[in-house]
Amino acid sequence: MPCDGMRFELLGPLRALRGGEEVPLGPPKQRAVLAVLLLQEGRPISYEGLVDAVWGDEPPTHVRNLVQKYVSGLRRAFAGGAGAGDGAAPALTWTGSGYRLSGAAIDDLRERRQAIDAALAARDAGQLRRAGELIDRAEALWRGEFAEGLGAPYLAAERLRWREKRLTVLEARIAGEIELGRSFEYVHELIRLVAAHPLRERPVELLMNALYRSGRSSDALIAYEDARHRIAEAMGADPGPALRSLHERMLRQDPALLASHAPASTSAA
């Protein structure tokens, strides 16, 4: 945590907290500038890079004045309310390489990475219940979409990336629960996940496993056929090798499908 006690959060609407109270960060574009600077993690970003990240290919004609206005507004926000015992506020400076925000960290991203790293270590050690608890802890940090409500090209791309990370972590948690013998409890959640992401194959794989281990082998095969039709209609292709292999093993009633095994690796940290 930064030494001034100010906490920044991005897993939802951007927030800055000092002493438990929210710090006003100004209008949406000013908040977008801050979010881009925070994501540099102390590295400088050029003026051109900042403009491109926040406004894209068509910045307004007065964009230089806007950048200066928002940088000044952020400096005032950092300084506002800081008492003598608070230490130095985050510093937003101009260097030869561009704008640099120092003394600031995104606490919820840091805490999430730590929880996921610990969860992966627990999973690799065979501690599936502990891994699930840690993944749930990471999931609890989300308050909405990443950088929710901030319309900047760079943040939109990051939002998609973090949406993918969140899905991968959710899939890892459910895979662990299936390994713990809780297949039946997760069938409905997986049906909803497949409906929300109809072309994503990992939820289909998990749903097939959950159904098969719940004694519903026919429904597992139907889930595969439904996915195969969706993928063929949307992409003109067959399912990937993992899904096809699972389907073939189910057709021949491979006894190993009912035995516990280590969940597939994920790099969702």
**Confidence tier at 2 by pLDDT (50, 70, 90):** very low
Give the pair of three-digit tokens for residue 246: 């699972």
Would you list the DSSP string of the chain? --TT-EEEE-SSS-EEEETTEEPP--SHHHHHHHHHHHHTTT--B-HHHHHHHHHTT---TTHHHHHHHHHHHHHHHHHTT--GGG-PPPEEEEETTEEEEES--BHHHHHHHHHHHHHHHHHHTT-HHHHHHHHHHHHTT--SSTTTT---HHHHHHHHHHHHHHHHHHHHHHHHHHHTT-HHHHHHHHHHHHHHSTT-HHHHHHHHHHHHHTT-HHHHHHHHHHHHHHHHHHHSSPPPHHHHHHHHHHHTT-GGGGS--PPPP----
Q: Report yes or no: 167 and 146 within 8 Å, Cβ to Cβ.
A: no
Residues of the chain with CATH 1.25.40.10: 181-269
pTM of this prediction?
0.85
Q: Which CATH class is domain 6-102?
A: mainly alpha
pLDDT higher than 50, residue 220: yes
User: In whole angstroms, what is the distance from residue 248 CA to residue 221 CA?
Assistant: 10
**How does residue 89 score in pLDDT terms, banded at 50, 70 and 90?**
confident
Q: What percent of the chain has pLDDT over 90?
A: 84
Residue 82 pLDDT > 70, yes or no?
Answer: no
Could you tell me the two tokens for 235?
């992409």
Mean pLDDT of 244-255: 96
pLDDT band for position 81 (50/70/90)? low
d(CA 69, CA 123): 48
User: Are the C-beta atoms of residues 93 and 100 closer than 8 Å to each other?
Assistant: yes
- Residue 262: pLDDT band (50, 70, 90) is very low
Confidence of residue 120 (pLDDT cuts 50, 70, 90): confident
pLDDT, average across residues 197-220: 97
- Per-residue pLDDT tens over the stretch 124-140: 898 989 999 999 999 99
- C-alpha 191, offset from chain centre: 21
Q: Please, how many CA atoms are within 13 Å of residue 191, restricted to the half-sphere of its CB?
A: 10
pLDDT at 68: 97
Instruction: Give tens-digit pLDDT for 225-237.
Output: 999 999 999 999 9
- The letter for the amino acid at 62 is H
Mean pLDDT for the chain overall: 91
Every domain range in the chain assigned CATH 1.10.10.10: 6-102
The domain covering 181-269 belongs, at the CATH homologous superfamily level, to Tetratricopeptide repeat domain (1.25.40.10)
Task: State mean pLDDT over 66-89.
Answer: 79
The answer for residues whose C-beta is within 8 angstroms of residue 37's C-beta and 6 or more apart is 45, 50, 74, 92, 99, 100, 101
Dihedral angle at the C-alpha atoms of 172, 176, 178, 182, nearest 10 degrees? Answer: -120
